[in-house]
Structure 1
Amino acid sequence: MNALRYPAPESLRTRRGLTVHRWKHSSPTASPVLLIHGFASNALFNWVKTGWLDPLSALNRDLICVDLPGHGASREVNPAGLRMAHLIEDLHELVGALGTPVAAHGYSLGSRIAWQFAYDHPDDVESLVMGGSPVSDEVYQVHPEQARRWAAGGPEPEDEATRKFITVAAALPDQHLQHVVELRLSLAHDVYAPSATVPQVPTLVVAGDRDTIAEGADALADLVASYGNWSDFVSLPGRNHVNALTARTYKDAVAAFLTR
């Protein structure tokens, strides 16, 4: 199969503003892979530029990437008022239209969404990859009004955690900063408690050993195993939250997981 290129040959927009990019394999032999990017990223920077498309396509699967509301090809979508349940509902409708369950792979905030999706709709998700996964809401604690004012062109946040959060939000080119920030603030209304929503599907957890955001992510694999489901944790030596995505070890672990 020829190397995959971006933009994808097919795209569509869901009810709540996710842009869906789809690359169809000429002869698929397994379920599609659904890729969900992290906060302040998008399909292009999280998955395409880091070299994920061709290795996954080589597994004879269709590939589906989503741009979350306010991000990437959905940058103009104002996510104010959106909740996790809205995103999950759109993903459920997307998989229903496909007519087949997916292998879900989320990174960072995308892994949190994938975890909830696999828990709420186990028939939609045949397997789960959790990359760079936070294990609580603690890493996302920010001052909402300071974040909104800065994103709108106001003063730099006085709160240190909020200043770091905004720096991440503004890192990529062509961001709609207000919408990027608003999605995270909207989703902050939903408590992230992984132990209360453990998916009942085979799960691979991957994190860099220098990734402070995903510190303790191995506990997610333990949670899945405690319910009698297959799970594994892979640590990426010398990798942090940003450069973990380019690690060959990460890609090889996912390929082995999807062909096990």
Structure 2
Amino acid sequence: MMELSIQRYPGKRPCSPTLVLLHGWGYHKTAWPEIWLQQLAERYDLWLVDLPGHGDDSCQAVSDADLSTLDAWLQKLGAALPARYSLLGWSLGGQLAMRLAHQQSNRVQSLICLACNLSFVQRDGWPEAMPVNVLTQFQTAFARLPEKTLQRFCALQAQGSEDPMVMTKLLRSQVHCRPSLTMGLDWLANLDLRETWPQITCPTLLILAEQDALVPASAVDTIKAISVQHQGANLLAGSHAIAWQEGTNTSLLLGVFEFMEAAHV
């Protein structure tokens, strides 16, 4: 049976609103900047969740994992969460947060997505993404040399940061290599949220990074073009690991606070 792996940081305020954090591919539930966890816990009841096949999650590797496997997990996660909650997702976690917000529109109060595209790979009418063959090559490399490929992935995420070498070392200390990570790569290849995005009914904020080596910064204009009134898409300086950058993580965190406070009025 599919079991969830969740760690809670109870809010320090009485009746703190719930904020669910969904990490990126290759990481685990507590792989967030410590300053983020400390500051967010001052205002919110945090639920840190391992994505399927990541961290301590019980899912085993599934060959050619389709979206029905993902939706079964999202349904189970939704059933475990409080009646009302907000979502903050990074990269693949942001895509899963979008899908959950769409599926549970009557329960999700707000949604924030960091360094996240509506489609991770290029599709007809959506050129602002990674070429399909690049992801396919990465999947092949991960199947052959998972540890080495995951380490290289961290270096790609660090490109564009203030000190890529230091950032790469930091990110490599946070990843957790498992064979079941192949499921996440399948979902990155298959998730297409272009129609889902404008149908999300809660206040939504998407933040991309100018120097991101995985999600083109130019996607922000394409996303803005299909956004509706309660959705925003912004561009900030930084790499794919935008939340870890000392030069921007404080201002980014303040922006998260401002958005969520306005959304919860």
Please confirm whether the aligned pair reaches a TM-score higher than 0.5, indicating the same fold.
yes
What is the CA distance between 1:211 and its match in structure 2? 1.3
User: How many angstroms apart in 2 are the aligned matches of 1:168 and 1:179?
Assistant: 21
What is the CA distance between 1:26 and its match in structure 2? 4.8
User: How many angstroms apart in 2 are the aligned matches of 1:195 and 1:174?
Assistant: 29
User: How many angstroms apart in 2 are the aligned matches of 1:110 and 1:201?
Assistant: 17
Report whether the alignment pairs 1:231 with 2:225.
no
* Contact 2:115-2:242 at 8 Å conserved across structures: no
What is the CA distance between 1:105 and its match in structure 2? 0.7
SS in 1 for 2:145: helix
Task: Pick 1 or 2: higher relative contact order, CA cutoff 8 A, min separation 6.
Answer: 2
* Contact 1:43-1:67 at 8 Å conserved across structures: yes
What is the CA distance between 1:66 and its match in structure 2? 0.7
1:110-189 to 2 correspondences below 5 Å: 110-138=93-121, 139=130, 141-143=135-137, 144-151=139-146, 165=153, 171-172=172-173, 175-180=176-181, 182-188=182-188
Give per-residue Cα distances to partners, 1:109-146, cap 9 Å, x unaligned: 11111111111221231111010012323237223444
What is the CA distance between 1:232 and its match in structure 2? 2.2
SS in 1 for 2:49: strand
Give per-residue Cα distances to partners, 1:162-220, cap 9 Å, x unaligned: 9955976994467334222x123432563x32221122221111122111323234243
SS in 1 for 2:6: strand
* Contact 2:88-2:112 at 8 Å conserved across structures: yes
What 5-or-longer segments of structure 1 have no aligned partner?
Answer: 1-14
What is the CA distance between 1:39 and its match in structure 2? 0.7
Report whether the alignment pairs 1:52 with 2:42.
no
- 1:79 counterpart residue number: 61
- 2:166 counterpart residue number: none
SS in 1 for 2:112: strand
* Contact 1:203-1:221 at 8 Å conserved across structures: no
Code of the aligned partner of 1:201: C
- 1:256 counterpart residue number: 258
Give per-residue Cα distances to partners, 1:72-120, cap 9 Å, x unaligned: 223x642314444433433333333434221111100111111111112
Post-superposition, which runs of at least 4 consecutive aligned residues in structure 1 deviate over 4 A? 162-170
- TM, length-normalised to structure 1: 0.74
User: How many angstroms apart in 2 are the aligned matches of 1:66 and 1:133?
Assistant: 18
Q: How high is the sequence identity, in percent, across the aligned residues?
A: 21
Query: Structure 1's 217 and 203: CA in aligned 2 closer, same or farther, altered over 3 A?
Result: farther
- 1:12 counterpart residue number: none
- TM, length-normalised to structure 2: 0.73
SS in 2 for 1:196: coil
Count of residue correspondences: 229
* Contact 1:35-1:104 at 8 Å conserved across structures: yes
SS in 2 for 1:39: coil
User: How many angstroms apart in 1 are the aligned matches of 2:94 and 2:56?
Assistant: 20
- 1:90 counterpart residue number: 73
- 1:16 counterpart residue number: 2
User: How many angstroms apart in 2 are the aligned matches of 1:133 and 1:40?
Assistant: 15
Give per-residue Cα distances to partners, 1:28-49, cap 9 Å, x unaligned: 445300100001112222x2x3
Code of the aligned partner of 1:53: L
What 5-or-longer segments of structure 2 have no aligned partner?
Answer: 122-129, 158-170
Code of the aligned partner of 2:233: F
